[in-house]
C-alpha cells in the first residue's frame, strides 16, 4: 500500500465508527507555548482534552503532520525521522479502553492484514507515589484480543528500561509492564515533572517485530520491546488521558475520561510492507534523486553512505514542509532548525560526492509525494526550491571560509569550546564536521563537553522567542495582549489597502507590550505608506466599531473573503471575527459590510475604541519577500 492508501483506510475506518475527520493543524503551533513545532496530534487538542467542547463532537480522527527538532541527531538509523505524519483518534469523554484497544488491533490485523504474531504491547506499571494504579484493565483486554488468534499473551513485569536490558524476554511473554518513563504520557513527561494543570495518563504502546534485525548488545545485554536496537519498532500508542495534576502536587481525574491515540503513518507502513527501513518505503522518490546526483546506490553496504542518504532524505523533507509553513532559514527561533536541516544535508552531500547546488531539485518529488493530502506544498514548490537554493549557495560560500578559519588552528593540541562554538555559530559547522576537519588538520583534542554547554545555552535562547507564543501567536490572554490582537487584525487589513490585496500574513507574535506581524511584500515600505497605514488603523479605532464573533460554514466564510492562513485546512465550521460596521451586533453582525474579517479563535476587545493610539515602531525585512512590522498601542 502507498502512504495515501493507508491514510485513507485509517480515516475511513474510524469515520465508520462515528468519528469526524478533522484537518491537520499547522506545523507552527497556534495554541501551545511549550514547543516550537507541532510534534504530536494531541497538541492542538489540549483545550478539549481538558474539558472544552469541540465543535465537531466527542469522536475525532485525523492525520497530523509533525516535526520533532529533538530527533535531528537521531536520524540515520532505520526508523527515526524528524518529519512524519501521526494518525490520531480521540474520544473526548465518550468511549475508553474497551473500545480503543480492540479497534486499533482490528485496524492493524484485519484492515491492514498485519500478522498479529509480530505484535507486542506495553502497559503502565503504576505510580504508587501518586496513588496511580497499574493498568491491569488494558492487560486483560490485550490477552482477550490475542487469544482470538490462538496467541499466548503472558504479561511480564519489566519496570525500568534498564531492567528490560538485564531481564530480557521469556517465552510466551507478549505484554510488558513499564514504569512512567516509558508508559505514561504528558507533554511534560513523567508525573513527577508535570506542572499543575497539565493533563496526562497511562498509555499502551504497540510494537512490530522485525526478526531480521538482530539484537545489538551495545544497547544492553538482552532485547525487549523498548530496546533501541531496531528489532522492535513502535507503531502506535493509545493514551488514556484521564488525570490532571493539581496545585498541591497530587493527581485527580479529569472531568472527562479521554482517549488520545497517536501512531506514525510511516512506521505503520513499515509493518504493512514488512520493511525494517522507514526510508525505503517512505522516501523512495527522494532516494532515487540522491542516487542520480551522487552516482551511488542507497542499498550499498557502505554504512556511512547509507546514513548520508537517510539524513538528506529526512532533512530535506522536513525543511520543505517547514518552509511551506512560512518558516524561513535564520539563526534564531524556528528558522534556526530549518537552516540546520539544510546545512546538515549539505555536509552529508559532500560525503556522497555531491559538491554543487542540488537540493532545490529535491522539492519537486517531495511535493508530488504529498500532493493529494497537502496540495499547498506543491503550490509553493517553486518558491520553496528558490529558498533552499539561496540557503545552499550561502552555506557553501560560508563553508569555504569556515574551513580556512579552522586551518588557523592546524597543529594545535586542543581546540577550545569557544573556538569550536564560533565555527558553529559564525560558519554553521555542525559538531561532527568540526571533529572531522579538526582531525584532518592534526588537532588532537576538542573540548566537546564545553561546546555542548555553549550549544545548550544557544538553543535555550533560540527557544525563548517561542515561550511567549500562545493561540494565534498570543503570549497570553491578558487585556493588553487582547487589545494588540485586535489591532493586529486592523493592521493586516490596512496593509492590504495600502500595499495591495496580495499582502498575506506570514507569521505573528503578540505580547502585552507590542505586536509583530510578518507579511508578504517584496520591498521596503516608504514613510508615506507607513503613515497611511497608521492613519487607517487609528481612524477605525476612533470610529469605535464593534468587534463581533461568529461561527459559520467554512465555504460561506471563504465566499465572504475572510482572511485565513495560506494552505491550511480548516474544519467545516469555523470561528470568525469581524470588525464593524457601526450598529453590528452578534445577532445581526452585517459581515458583508465589515472592515476586517478573519478566521480566528480570539480573544478580542468588544469595540475598537478600547485600543488607544496605534503606532508603528519598526518596519524591516526578515527574508526574501517577507517584511516585518512591530507596533504598539499608546
Is the model more confident about 498 or about 569? 498
First to last CA, the chain: 59
Whether residue 437 contacts residue 402, with contact meaning beta carbons closer than 8 Å, is answered with no
pLDDT at 373 over 80: yes
Q: Which CATH number fits domain 471-633: 3.30.230.10, 3.80.10.10, 3.30.980.10, 3.40.50.300?
A: 3.30.980.10
CA torsion angle for 376, 10, 278, 380 (degrees, to 10)?
0
Mean per-residue pLDDT for 191-212?
94
pLDDT for the residue 626: 84
pLDDT for the residue 30: 67
Where is average pLDDT lowest: 122-126, 156-160, 358-362? 358-362
Whether residue 21 contacts residue 15, with contact meaning beta carbons closer than 8 Å, is answered with yes
pTM equals: 0.71
Local confidence band at 566 (pLDDT 50, 70, 90 cut-offs) = low
pLDDT at 473 over 80: no
Cα–Cα distance, 471 to 447 (Å, whole number): 41
264 bridge partner residues: 86
pLDDT for the residue 467: 43
pLDDT at 496 over 90: yes
pLDDT at 592 over 60: yes
Cα–Cα distance, 304 to 348 (Å, whole number): 9
Residues 225-243 pLDDT 10s: 999 899 999 999 999 999 9
- Second CATH level (architecture) for the domain 3-273: 2-Layer Sandwich (3.30)
Where is average pLDDT lowest: 381-390, 416-425, 488-497, 561-570? 561-570
Local confidence band at 207 (pLDDT 50, 70, 90 cut-offs) = very high
Q: Angle at which helices 381-407 and 333-351 pack, to 10 degrees? A: 70
Most confident segment among 20-24, 114-118, 391-395: 114-118
Mean per-residue pLDDT for 458-486?
62
Whether residue 238 contacts residue 100, with contact meaning beta carbons closer than 8 Å, is answered with yes
pLDDT for the residue 34: 61
For residue 526, what is its C-alpha cell? 516608504
Mean per-residue pLDDT for 417-442?
81
Local confidence band at 338 (pLDDT 50, 70, 90 cut-offs) = very high
Residues 502-525 pLDDT 10s: 898 887 888 878 999 989 898 999
- φ and ψ at residue 253, rounded to 5 degrees: -80, 145
Residues 44-83 pLDDT 10s: 888 888 788 898 999 999 999 999 988 888 899 888 999 9
Local confidence band at 489 (pLDDT 50, 70, 90 cut-offs) = very high
**579, containing H or E segment:** strand 573-579
From the list 51, 24, 64, the residue with the least C-alpha distance to 262 is 64
Cα–Cα distance, 212 to 229 (Å, whole number): 12
Please give the angle made by the CA atoms of 357, 362 and 368, to the nearest 5 degrees.
155
Cα–Cα distance, 395 to 259 (Å, whole number): 45
Whether residue 576 contacts residue 591, with contact meaning beta carbons closer than 8 Å, is answered with yes
Count other C-beta atoms under 10 Å from residue 360's C-beta: 20
Q: Which residues contact 322 (CB under 8 A, 6 or more apart)?
A: 27, 37, 67, 334, 337, 338, 341
What percentage of the chain exceeds 90 in pLDDT?
62
pLDDT for the residue 474: 59
Local confidence band at 558 (pLDDT 50, 70, 90 cut-offs) = confident
Whether residue 230 contacts residue 86, with contact meaning beta carbons closer than 8 Å, is answered with no
Mean per-residue pLDDT for 95-100?
97
- φ and ψ at residue 573, rounded to 5 degrees: -105, 130
Whether residue 538 contacts residue 614, with contact meaning beta carbons closer than 8 Å, is answered with yes
Report helix, strand or coil for 578. Answer: strand
Cα–Cα distance, 169 to 172 (Å, whole number): 9
Where is average pLDDT lowest: 119-128, 285-294, 367-376, 563-572? 563-572
Most confident segment among 41-50, 262-271, 418-427: 262-271
Count other C-beta atoms under 10 Å from residue 62's C-beta: 25
Residue 412 CA neighbour count, 13 Å, CB half: 14
pLDDT for the residue 137: 97
Please state the domain extents for the chain: 3-273, 278-466, 471-633
Residues 430-453 pLDDT 10s: 787 788 778 878 888 999 999 888
Where is average pLDDT lowest: 201-215, 325-339, 357-371, 376-390? 325-339
Whether residue 103 contacts residue 342, with contact meaning beta carbons closer than 8 Å, is answered with no
Amino acid at each position: 500500500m502507498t502512504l495515501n492508501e493507508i491514510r485513507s483506510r485509517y480515516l475511513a475506518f474510524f469515520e465508520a465508527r462515528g468519528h469526524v475527520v478533522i484537518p491537520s493543524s499547522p506545523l507552527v503551533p497556534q495554541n501551545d507555548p511549550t514547543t516550537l513545532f507541532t510534534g504530536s496530534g494531541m497538541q492542538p487538542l489540549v483545550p478539549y482534552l481538558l474539558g472544552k467542547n469541540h465543535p465537531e463532537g466527542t469522536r475525532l480522527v485525523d492525520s497530523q503532520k509533525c516535526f520533532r527538532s529533538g530527533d535531528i541527531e537521531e536520524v540515520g538509523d532505520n526508523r527515526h525521522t524528524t518529519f512524519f505524519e501521526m494518525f490520531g483518534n480521540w474520544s473526548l469523554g465518550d468511549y475508553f479502553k474497551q473500545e480503543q484497544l480492540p479497534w486499533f488491533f482490528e485496524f492493524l490485523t484485519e484492515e491492514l492484514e498485519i500478522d498479529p504474531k509480530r505484535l507486542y504491547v506495553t502497559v503502565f506499571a503504576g505510580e504508587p507515589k501518586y496513588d496511580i494504579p497499574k493498568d491491569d484493565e488494558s492487560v486483560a483486554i490485550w490477552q482477550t484480543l490475542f487469544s482470538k488468534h490462538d496467541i499466548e499473551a503472558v504479561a511480564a513485569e519489566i519496570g525500568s528500561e534498564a531492567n528490560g536490558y538485564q531481564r530480557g524476554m521469556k517465552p510466551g511473554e507478549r505484554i510488558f509492564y513499564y514504569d512512567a518513563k516509558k508508559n505514561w504520557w504528558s507533554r511534560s513527561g513523567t508525573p513527577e515533572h508535570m506542572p499543575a494543570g497539565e493533563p496526562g495518563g497511562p498509555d499502551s504502546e504497540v510494537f512490530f517485530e522485525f526478526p531480521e534485525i538482530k539484537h545489538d548488545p551495545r544497547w544492553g545485554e538482552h532485547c525487549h520491546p523498548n530496546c533501541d536496537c531496531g528489532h522492535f519498532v513502535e507503531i502506535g500508542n493509545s493514551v488514556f488521558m484521564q488525570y490532571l495534576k493539581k496545585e498541591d502536587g497530587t493527581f485527580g481525574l479529569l472531568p472527562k475520561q479521554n482517549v488520545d491515540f497517536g501512531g506514525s503513518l510511516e512506521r505503520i507502513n513499515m509493518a504493512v510492507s514488512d520493511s525494517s527501513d522507514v526510508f525505503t518505503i517512505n522516501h523512495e522518490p527522494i532516494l532515487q534523486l540522491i542516487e542520480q546526483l551522487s552516482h551511488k546506490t542507497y542499498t550499498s553496504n557502505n554504512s556511512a553512505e547509507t546514513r548520508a542518504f537517510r539524513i538528506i532524505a529526512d532533512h530535506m523533507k522536513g525543511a520543505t514542509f517547514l518552509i511551506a509553513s512560512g518558516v524561513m532559514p535564520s539563526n534564531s527561533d524556528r528558522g534556526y532548525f530549518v537552516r540546520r536541516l539544510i546545512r546538515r544535508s549539505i555536509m552529508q552531500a559532500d560525503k556522497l560526492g555531491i559538491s554543487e547546488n542540488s537540493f532545490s531539485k529535491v522539492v519537486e518529488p517531495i511535493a508530488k509525494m504529498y500532493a493529494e493530502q497537502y496540495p499547498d506544498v506543491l503550490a509553493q514548490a517553486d518558491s520553496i526550491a528558490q529558498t533552499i537554493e539561496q540557503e545552499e549557495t550561502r552555506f557553501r560560500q560560508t563553508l569555504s571560509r569556515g574551513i580556512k578559519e579552522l586551518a588557523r588552528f592546524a597543529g594545535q593540541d586542543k581546540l577550545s569550546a569557544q573556538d569550536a562554538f564560533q565555527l558553529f555559530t559564525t560558519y554553521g559547522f555542525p559538531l561532527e564536521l568540526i571533529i572531522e576537519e579538526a582531525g584532518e588538520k592534526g588537532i588532537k583534542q576538542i573540548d566537546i563537553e564545553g561546546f555542548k554547554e555553549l550549544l545548550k545555552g544557544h538553543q535555550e535562547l533560540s527557544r525563548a522567542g517561542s515561550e511567549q507564543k500562545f493561540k494565534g501567536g498570543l503570549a497570553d490572554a491578558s487585556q493588553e495582549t487582547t487589545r494588540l490582537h485586535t489591532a493586529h487584525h486592523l493592521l493586516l487589513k490596512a496593509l492590504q489597502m495600502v500595499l495591495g490585496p496580495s499582502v498575506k500574513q506570514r507569521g505573528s507574535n503578540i505580547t502585552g507590550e507590542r505586536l509583530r506581524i510578518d507579511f508578504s511584500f517584496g520591498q521596503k515600505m516608504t514613510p508615506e505608506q507607513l503613515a497611511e497605514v497608521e492613519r487607517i488603523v487609528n481612524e477605525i479605532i476612533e470610529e469605535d466599531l464593534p468587534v463581533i464573533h461568529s461561527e459559520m460554514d467554512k465555504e460561506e466564510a471563504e465566499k465572504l473573503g475572510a482572511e485565513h492562513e495560506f494552505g491550511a485546512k480548516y474544519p467545516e465550521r469555523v470561528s470568525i471575527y469581524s470588525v464593524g460596521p457601526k450598529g453590528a451586533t452578534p445577532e445581526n453582525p452585517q459581515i458583508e459590510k465589515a472592515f476586517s474579517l478573519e478566521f480566528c479563535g480570539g480573544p478580542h476587545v468588544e469595540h475598537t475604541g478600547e485600543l488607544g493610539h496605534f503606532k508603528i515602531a519598526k518596519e524591516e525585512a526578515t527574508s526574501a519577500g517577507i517584511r516585518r512590522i512591530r507596533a504598539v498601542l499608546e
